[in-house]
Amino acid sequence: MKNLTGMDTLKEHQKARVEKILIGGKMRNRLNDLGLIEGTCIECLYKNRGLSAYLIRGAVIALRAEDTSLIKIKIIKS
């Protein structure tokens, strides 16, 4: 997992590609249902006190930092 970081480290308006999801069970199923799968491009829209909003496949999804820290991403250079 070279050059990968947690999704929770994204800054507002930064874009990235999901490389690895280290969450299992019902939460992983829910993320998959929302379109958050490996290879998906995302953008951080808003961050505040452990809750962040992301643009994922045209939908805005709010996720907790403890969940996004287990989603490994590669930041896309603009």
Residues 48-67 have pLDDT tens digits of 988 999 999 999 999 999 99
**Can you tell me the distance from the alpha carbon of 46 to that of 69, in angstroms, rounded to the nearest whole number?**
16
Residues 6+ apart with CB under 8 A from 77: none
Q: Provide the 8-state DSSP code for 1.
A: -
Structural domains in the chain plus CATH codes: 5-76 (2.30.30.90)
pTM, rounded to two decimals: 0.89
Residue 1 tokens, joined: 């997992």
Coil, strand or helix at 18: strand
Residues 6+ apart with CB under 8 A from 64: 50, 51
What is the overall mean pLDDT for the chain?
93
